[in-house]
Structure 1
């Protein structure tokens, strides 16, 4: 333990908050929260022999600790979620994909809302559905909605003449004033009910609209609503009734040598309306730690939080209380985590676990993942080359030319064994134009790369 950390440990606050651990380069490597910062942070540096391999590796790299005090543990939880999302520290359990998952956005803040796919969730008055891990299923949902409801999909409404979408009956042309805001609003309400999984309620609503339109002799409108009703009835018949009622999320977990898969079943109004799967990076983390980290990341972004969330393993008792309090505040009603032991809910949870395990098996069978992680590959390369330090960054260079002209160099970068495409570079070589000389070309590109560059790699391959 260095002197800086010893001084920090001596003056840690006796309050709830978030702690941020940095390495010798100032890079954030772990973010956590605590009921009492003093007790939690000090625990990392006591009884090191009893810690997991991951915690030992983390402690060995910590050079600086920063703390942020909050008024409550719930505030600390929210801050922890937002900081992890922003900084994506190496030693936190993370969703495997670096990209953000897409949402369906319904622009309720507009007079005539539209629906489209987005990866950003803003506080702009719109309603968001997701996140969707399966982009194919999400786009299929959008296609279904647009076939059922003639929604506008243009960004601007600065025209007095309807476009082709109106003439092929895929839009009601609000831009040309062909539909009232009230009538268009009824259609958007139906879209939201369908996305919420309230198909039975929507079915009753559409029947009422159809009858009213027919009574008013608006037969064309009644026929359009009839077509929507028939589509909703088909969807309702396809959805399987699994419980007597209520909204549930059911999270199944499976692990193997390639990683961890979490399968979520969405039950709305007692019917199974869909499912999604996510992958998490894990080392020697327990199921309880993985589920706790997943709950924080998923429900910090989720557009809807059900009343009950079924889990194969409950979070630790102190975490459980804070998570339920946090989600209850988010949802505006009581939310609780359950670990069912018998009955229908237990069967559903078992089914979710089986599906997660099956998905991992399929990925392995198709050869989509290697049994060795990228980090393990980097560690093996370090041992093979007998290098003293971990290969946190590798730069690779190559030269190419066309019969001595148009000489270029390319550089690819690996961080902790993973390709880092945002750091890739291409250089136009000037010193050997017209005279092919790979050695001189390599000399130029390496000099240009590192003459003013502060972050030197662990290994350069040419």
Structure 2
């Protein structure tokens, strides 16, 4: 390794530190690979970490036995490649943030004769377009509220008609499609809508008045809908007495720490007022670095698309790669990006506001099952506290309609938006799990790996998962749970089932009353429920398609042959005549095409 370090090129690139098992410990970037990597080590008299480095870096280097590097054209490419590889490979000493989602904006095009409010995540062409946001939550609720409280043109298509529709009859629209409504009469409603977006307290007051009316009229279901909507709109609001005395925009990023966690808070200032805020928590561990946390936060938030509103960026702390990130965002935005660390004045007040709220979130929002997760980490000897867990199970009926399901448990609850289902080709449990896990690994670039995988199966499937991950250079904790057998039957009774837990070092049989076992059983049962539900839907669809082909004279044997070849009925429906003819003959091929043509024409 010493000779390799001495011969590193003086070019931009990324470097990877590897442990004795060849697993990636850390991925870093460099304008000059030779200078950067050498800055970590004393090269004489023997290779050793520099004592001036942080304890985190010294610990990482003490585990390092190998080095890989990739040369790129420039610093910008190095930053992009580093970010992509960290998301895919989840190195032990890098920070992985999952907040890569884009936040919606509300916009209105004032050049239209009758402007309407709409949602967008991208830039809309037009000189008269005004944007509001971004909104972490409540954007759809705000939009729905505007159309319920104001007599705006409800749908884009409404203006194409020539007669007032149901919205006019419900007194929710002035019907400019039928009546000569002057633009001057219409625009004050748009102005009112803008005011409510910018001052959500006034919008909430209007909604509360309407909710009370529904309640007094005994329309309780409608009142409950408004109550929930008010709650979601309120979540995006962070009240502040700060008056910027200007109409400036800022994106503010602050990271606060306590003994166990970090809170990353994003604060969006629009036209001198707090528009919305959002936050995430990050566990403190050996991998944590404030410098890297800011870098990952900014790169993850802005992604690879130009935001509708490009605002100067304020951060609460300086960070090492600020110039790298600024240059990357300059390239992305097509204009010079600004990243400041204000020390005084109104901008510093914004930083203080963000930090104050971040510390308050750390104090008040404690994970409900944090202690249980720590006991799981200790029991299973996990490298990472398992805050985010993906659980896999597959289902089929006699080899028919094989499917798989992945459910996600994240910070104390099941994350339904993270669930995934898979149509599978394999007919045995091993092949099905292999197919499902391969597809999940291929998606790590867009949806980063979790802290832990849990498989419904035995040691063989656990080893399969570990081998697949290692073959892709990903180090991820994996456990499996297999059902206890009583009289050759699976026993699932909660509180008494002693299911077997398979870990990297051991096979565990915990008491049925053990909270740790019951937690893993709960995860397994949710994955099983999801897989069974998806299988039932798939089997019903399969039976419907099979019956359809049978009524057109296609035998079950030939249907099975087609499914073996094409995989799905959708693929059969789209297949060409020549291939069908080779598989089942010209007559049946013609019948199949006629069958699906009839379905399309219905």
Same fold (TM over 0.5): yes
Deviation string for 1:189-232 (max 9, x for gaps)? xxxxxxxxxxxxxxxxxxxxxxxxxxxx8327654443222222
Alpha carbons 1:81, 1:300 under 8 Å: kept: no
Displacement, 1:86?
A: 3.7
Task: Determine the C-alpha separation between the residues in 1 that align with 2:341 and 2:384.
Answer: 42
Task: Determine the C-alpha separation between the residues in 1 that align with 2:86 and 2:383.
Answer: 24
The aligned counterpart of 1:208 is: none
Alpha carbons 1:104, 1:116 under 8 Å: kept: yes
Task: Determine the C-alpha separation between the residues in 1 that align with 2:10 and 2:368.
Answer: 48
Task: Determine the C-alpha separation between the residues in 2 that align with 1:153 and 1:422.
Answer: 46
The aligned counterpart of 2:141 is: 140
Look up the SS of the partner of 1:41 in the other structure. helix
The aligned counterpart of 1:271 is: 273
Structure 2: stretches of 5+ with no match in the other structure = 42-47, 110-114, 202-241, 392-405, 410-448, 459-483, 492-499, 510-602
Task: Determine the C-alpha separation between the residues in 2 that align with 1:24 and 1:439.
Answer: 45
Task: Determine the C-alpha separation between the residues in 2 that align with 1:142 and 1:395.
Answer: 34
Are 1:312 and 2:308 an aligned pair?
A: no
Q: Could you tell me which of 4, 14, 17 is aligned with 2:10?
A: 14
Alpha carbons 2:116, 2:153 under 8 Å: kept: no
The aligned counterpart of 1:459 is: 506
Displacement, 1:57?
A: 4.4
The aligned counterpart of 2:378 is: 380
Task: Determine the C-alpha separation between the residues in 2 that align with 1:392 and 1:241.
Answer: 42
Look up the SS of the partner of 2:247 in the other structure. coil
Q: Could you tell me which of 245, 248, 264 is aligned with 1:246?
A: 248
The aligned counterpart of 2:195 is: 233
The aligned counterpart of 2:211 is: none
Displacement, 1:289?
A: 3.8
The aligned counterpart of 2:486 is: 438
The aligned counterpart of 1:360 is: 362
Change (3 A) 1:62 1:392: farther
Task: Determine the C-alpha separation between the residues in 2 that align with 1:423 and 1:138.
Answer: 35
Task: Determine the C-alpha separation between the residues in 2 that align with 1:130 and 1:235.
Answer: 9
Task: Determine the C-alpha separation between the residues in 2 that align with 1:257 and 1:315.
Answer: 21
Q: Could you tell me which of 442, 452, 455 is aligned with 1:424?
A: 455
Look up the SS of the partner of 1:424 in the other structure. strand
Alpha carbons 2:20, 2:64 under 8 Å: kept: yes
Change (3 A) 1:12 1:272: same
Displacement, 1:342?
A: 1.8
Are 1:33 and 2:29 an aligned pair?
A: yes
Q: Could you tell me which of 75, 83, 87 is aligned with 1:73?
A: 75
Deviation string for 1:148-179 (max 9, x for gaps)? 6656599xxxx9x9997797687999xxxx79
Structure 1: stretches of 5+ with no match in the other structure = 180-216, 397-410, 428-435, 444-448
Task: Determine the C-alpha separation between the residues in 2 that align with 1:125 and 1:54.
Answer: 48
Displacement, 1:13?
A: 1.8
Displacement, 1:28?
A: 4.2
Task: Determine the C-alpha separation between the residues in 1 that align with 2:385 and 2:193.
Answer: 54
Are 1:297 and 2:344 an aligned pair?
A: no
Deviation string for 1:397-427 (max 9, x for gaps)? xxxxxxxxxxxxxx9999xxx9878643279
Change (3 A) 1:368 1:378: closer
Alpha carbons 2:384, 2:451 under 8 Å: kept: no
Deviation string for 1:106-140 (max 9, x for gaps)? 9x9xxx9996688xx9x9999999876x44x3443
Q: How does 1:140-289 map to 2 (within 5 A)?
A: 140-144=141-145, 147=148, 150=153, 152=155, 218-219=180-181, 223-236=185-198, 241-283=243-285, 285-289=288-292
Displacement, 1:33?
A: 0.7
Look up the SS of the partner of 2:280 in the other structure. strand
The aligned counterpart of 1:209 is: none
Displacement, 1:288?
A: 3.5
Look up the SS of the partner of 1:326 in the other structure. helix
Task: Determine the C-alpha separation between the residues in 1 that align with 2:280 and 2:100.
Answer: 12
Task: Determine the C-alpha separation between the residues in 2 that align with 1:312 and 1:249.
Answer: 11
Displacement, 1:321?
A: 2.4
Alpha carbons 2:247, 2:272 under 8 Å: kept: yes
Task: Determine the C-alpha separation between the residues in 2 that align with 1:153 and 1:441.
Answer: 59
Change (3 A) 1:91 1:312: same
Alpha carbons 1:258, 1:369 under 8 Å: kept: no
Change (3 A) 1:129 1:75: farther
Change (3 A) 1:230 1:54: same
Deviation string for 1:249-272 (max 9, x for gaps)? 222221112311122221223332
The aligned counterpart of 1:343 is: 345
Larger radius of gyration: 2
Displacement, 1:359?
A: 0.9
Displacement, 1:243?
A: 4.0
Displacement, 1:32?
A: 1.6
Task: Determine the C-alpha separation between the residues in 1 that align with 2:196 and 2:124.
Answer: 34
Change (3 A) 1:304 1:257: farther
Task: Determine the C-alpha separation between the residues in 1 that align with 2:190 and 2:71.
Answer: 53
Alpha carbons 1:18, 1:80 under 8 Å: kept: yes
Instruction: With the length of structure 1 as denominator, give the TM-score of the two structures.
Output: 0.60
Q: How does 1:81-160 map to 2 (within 5 A)?
A: 81-95=83-97, 97=98, 100=101, 103=104, 134-135=136-137, 137-144=138-145, 147=148, 150=153, 152=155
Task: Determine the C-alpha separation between the residues in 1 that align with 2:96 and 2:407.
Answer: 24
